[in-house]
Structure 1
Amino acid sequence: MTIAMLITMMLGFALSVSVAVSIGLASIVGIQVNHANMLISVKEIFNAVNKFPLAAIPFFILAGNLMETGGISRRLVDFAKSIVGGVQGGLPMTCVLTCMIFAAVSGSSVATTFAIGAILIPALVEHGYPKSYAAALQATSAELGVIIPPSIPMILYGVAAEVSIGELFIAGFGPGILISGALMVFVWIYCKWKGWGKNDGDGRLGFWTATRKAAWALLMPVIILGGIYGGVFTPTEASAVAVLYALIVGMLIYREIGLQDLAAVLRKSVISSAVIMFIIANAGLFAFLITRAGVPDAIGHWLEQTLQSPHWFLLGVNAALFVIGMFIETSAAIIVLGPILAPVAMHFGVDPVHFGLIMVVNLALGMITPPFGVNLFAACTVAKIPLEQIIKHLIPFVLVVLACLMIITYVPELSLGLRDLVFK
């Protein structure tokens, strides 16, 4: 059964069938080969999406779209530019810092790419940066949308591996700040070397002016994250609060969202949410079937026999996830692999929260690596260029994130230090 499912899934990928449909077809083939009742598919698909924490996904996506339409994104860009935009290469650094702040509300890298890229990619081009570099930078910076909490992939991992979502969120700050800092240092050095960005400070607002104009926007992540860690509401409830806050600020305070804009925002959010939930539904059925077939136990035993130490296990998992992330959408990979790999990691003494951060950061790399990097497609859509044009500028960014991933993997205190301080 398992072989037939894997062959069907890989054949679907090879024929450019969407990830969700390929996984669903593979699951149907597995049921038929096993002569099981097809009603299993209905039951397990329902079970896969019938989880309260998953309600956060459409709310965070809607919050991100409301932020983009309501002028919150633009004010965050001005605020970030007031901090780092005064140096050579300040505009690329502004891109990274803005994505870091925006990520503290949106939870989605694709939403971050569209919301911030629509503002900063044209600005970077106007300041003399190659359009391909601007798109590569935006795609990479938006990856922070799934690492800085709240994060949709962290919610999925928490549900799939039965790990505290609150602990995952607070553990994400260390890796997120590390990657943000590394990217900002890299783009600053790179722009110095290339001679780009000597006029990046043009049109830059003063810090206090930018802060005053962005005050309501900056208050949003404070309310969301403060409410979660203060015990006022759960991460799932926080997503609904984010929508309400973005709606109030966009419509009543900034007054950049009219009633006529809501239909387009809702339509865009529904489509994005439906795509993710469709993947989760099919991946849930797939995970149930391979678990029933004993695949997780078999993989666990094989890893235990082949990789004798936690260090080799983590290195092997990182290599495998890096390749998997190139071909399988992040949400589907987490739903399928989380329940399989998390118990094995615990057997090797790896904290499941730490392992969750390793999975999320590694699979987030899949968002910026061909052939199926969703951030790349989003950034290329905004920049209006073909995918192949950004590969040259993308490679150094991938190497920087890979270096950070190795630090995150082998320095668990980076992820768990703040978690242990708060929860223990």
Structure 2
Amino acid sequence: MLVTLLFGTFAVCLILGTPIGVALGLASAVYLFGAGIDLSVVPQYMFAGMDSFVLLCIPGFVLAGNLMNGGGITDQIVRFGNAIVGHIRGGLGLANVVGSMIFAGISGTAVAETASIGSVMIPAMRKSGYDAHFAAAVTAAASTVGPIIPPSVPMIIVGTLTGLSVGKMFLAGAVPGVLMGIGMMITVYIISRKRGYPKGTWQGWGHVVRTSKAAFWAILMTGVILFGIVGGYFTPTEASVVSALYAFVVGLFVYRGFKVSALPNILIESAIGSGALVLLVGLANVFGWILTSEQIPQAIAASMLALTTNKYLIILLINILLLIVGTFMETIAALIILFPPLLAVAVKVGIDPIHFATFAVINLMIGLTTPPVGVCLFVSANIAKISLGAISKAIWPFLVCNILVLFLVSYVPQISLWLPSLFYK
């Protein structure tokens, strides 16, 4: 009865459009009130969920992304992507994907990437003759590589929950993220040829070299983060501070995209964004504690293992479950609630934890662009000034492409494990 009340309240909140964090908090409070449990456990478990050294990565990477974005790096990345692929049919769409793959090394979050790249690319694509719904769909789909190519906020959350190496997970996401980008570029090219979308003119290797000089600093930032963590020079949390300092110096002195007077606004914006994420972690931890006390994760694990102990069928079942959950639940909340029990199932049937973490995060990233609640769809549709229905129809070719990559990564472990095994003997 109480479990029904918990999930019923949560479902009603989602239907009413309540923010996911508030929905988790309200559902938890209703359950605790019904069970006669003192509500003082709410702040206790919220703090327990937020009291993690690894979680300090989030403010650092969010601040670094905002500093680089405020410093004009987004425009430079787009110009570099356009210089490389702009002369091919559908070149601006391809540049959109390339830009997202480069920007992934800065933001670590898909929504930030959608807003940053979309504000530049969607108007440019519409002006060049692309359909608005196609431009919006490309932007939303390409943004999902952000939390897969390092750094990645969801992978930081996974490391917090399980103690898995964040450095290994960062490396594990690199090749799958690139594969997703290549797959989406192929999709863009096929659709562009079919619809006769425009192509630009090749401006020579000199132009590529000139634009690469600006984008170089963004690419170098990813290298600094990965080299520092993998080389043991600093922890992921220290890496986020280094990246923020690096972004400040580059944005202020190299790109000169902002002045010192703009710093307070950037800090406030970063604090609000980071605070929302950390608050969500805390509220999701309360919800997760309730589920654990009701032994729901154990029931999910037992049900899966009762159906089959075949590793490949378990991978299929986990993928289906996470794809469904990703359509209506925010990524971090879904990770906190479902990742630990599913990891236990995965390990029991012989799936490597780092491999599992990689395809679990990809699953939930795909959910960000899956109707009806894909957050990136709302952001992209708002920039393009189109309806959710229009972008929902246009996103399907990219969803199919990303799901194909997901299953490739799921069933070929070395795609995600090759780099970690290379650097971590």
TM range, smaller chain: over 0.9
Residue 176 of structure 1 aligns with which residue? 177
Mean Cα deviation higher: 299-308 or 325-334? 299-308
C-alpha displacement of 1:36: 2.5
Mapped contact 1:65–1:115 kept (Cα < 8 A): no
CA distance in 2 between partners of 1:77 and 1:14 (Å): 37
Mean Cα deviation higher: 357-366 or 214-223? 214-223
CA distance in 2 between partners of 1:287 and 1:37 (Å): 17
Matched ranges for 1:281-300 at <5 A: 281-300=282-301
Residue 80 of structure 1 aligns with which residue? 81
Letter in 2 for 1:20: G
CA distance in 2 between partners of 1:280 and 1:333 (Å): 10
Mapped contact 2:150–2:222 kept (Cα < 8 A): no
Mapped contact 1:86–1:204 kept (Cα < 8 A): no
Alpha carbons of 1:213 and 1:321: their partners in 2 closer, same or farther (altered >3 Å)? closer
Alpha carbons of 1:390 and 1:200: their partners in 2 closer, same or farther (altered >3 Å)? farther
Mapped contact 1:9–1:26 kept (Cα < 8 A): yes
Residue 341 of structure 2 aligns with which residue? 340
Residue 381 of structure 1 aligns with which residue? 382
SS of residue paired to 2:197: coil
- Residues 116-170 of structure 1, C-alpha deviation per residue, up to 9 Å, x if partnerless? 1121112211211111111110011011111111100111112123321111111
% of aligned pairs identical?
38
Matched ranges for 1:339-378 at <5 A: 339-378=340-379
Matched ranges for 1:149-188 at <5 A: 149-188=150-189
Instruction: Give yes or no for the alignment of 1:324 onto 2:342.
Output: no
Letter in 1 for 2:285: G
CA distance in 2 between partners of 1:317 and 1:196 (Å): 38
Residue 113 of structure 1 aligns with which residue? 114
C-alpha displacement of 1:387: 1.9
C-alpha displacement of 1:197: 2.1
CA distance in 2 between partners of 1:420 and 1:164 (Å): 12
CA distance in 1 between partners of 2:214 and 2:164 (Å): 39
Residue 28 of structure 1 aligns with which residue? 29
C-alpha displacement of 1:201: 4.9
C-alpha displacement of 1:105: 2.1
SS of residue paired to 1:327: coil
Mapped contact 2:77–2:214 kept (Cα < 8 A): no
- Residues 92-134 of structure 1, C-alpha deviation per residue, up to 9 Å, x if partnerless? 1111111111101211111111221121112211211111111
Residue 197 of structure 1 aligns with which residue? 198
C-alpha displacement of 1:49: 0.5
Mean Cα deviation higher: 30-39 or 358-367? 30-39
CA distance in 2 between partners of 1:386 and 1:202 (Å): 36
TM-score (norm 1): 0.95
C-alpha displacement of 1:204: 9.8
- Residues 7-61 of structure 1, C-alpha deviation per residue, up to 9 Å, x if partnerless? 2211222222221111112212232333323222121100000111111112212
Letter in 2 for 1:418: L
Letter in 2 for 1:353: I
Residue 226 of structure 1 aligns with which residue? 227
Residue 143 of structure 1 aligns with which residue? 144
CA distance in 2 between partners of 1:53 and 1:256 (Å): 30
SS of residue paired to 1:214: helix
SS of residue paired to 1:206: helix
Matched ranges for 1:247-266 at <5 A: 247-266=248-267
C-alpha displacement of 1:362: 0.5
Residue 49 of structure 2 aligns with which residue? 48
Mapped contact 2:87–2:199 kept (Cα < 8 A): no
Mapped contact 1:105–1:224 kept (Cα < 8 A): no
Residue 268 of structure 1 aligns with which residue? 269
Residue correspondences, number: 424
Alpha carbons of 1:5 and 1:203: their partners in 2 closer, same or farther (altered >3 Å)? farther
CA distance in 2 between partners of 1:80 and 1:158 (Å): 32
CA distance in 1 between partners of 2:17 and 2:153 (Å): 25
C-alpha displacement of 1:264: 2.9
CA distance in 2 between partners of 1:218 and 1:297 (Å): 42
Mapped contact 1:75–1:217 kept (Cα < 8 A): no
- Residues 215-256 of structure 1, C-alpha deviation per residue, up to 9 Å, x if partnerless? 333322222222222221112211111111111111122212
SS of residue paired to 1:239: helix
Mean Cα deviation higher: 341-350 or 303-312? 303-312
TM-score (norm 2): 0.95
Letter in 1 for 2:348: H
- Residues 322-357 of structure 1, C-alpha deviation per residue, up to 9 Å, x if partnerless? 111111101110111111211111111111111111
Mapped contact 1:62–1:269 kept (Cα < 8 A): yes
Residue 93 of structure 1 aligns with which residue? 94
Mean Cα deviation higher: 190-199 or 238-247? 190-199
Alpha carbons of 1:205 and 1:369: their partners in 2 closer, same or farther (altered >3 Å)? farther
Alpha carbons of 1:202 and 1:387: their partners in 2 closer, same or farther (altered >3 Å)? farther
SS of residue paired to 1:163: coil
CA distance in 2 between partners of 1:251 and 1:68 (Å): 11
SS of residue paired to 2:327: helix
Mean Cα deviation higher: 201-210 or 24-33? 201-210
Mapped contact 1:71–1:256 kept (Cα < 8 A): yes
C-alpha displacement of 1:313: 1.4
C-alpha displacement of 1:420: 1.5
Mapped contact 1:321–1:359 kept (Cα < 8 A): yes
CA distance in 2 between partners of 1:173 and 1:113 (Å): 19
CA distance in 2 between partners of 1:205 and 1:3 (Å): 64
Mapped contact 2:96–2:142 kept (Cα < 8 A): yes
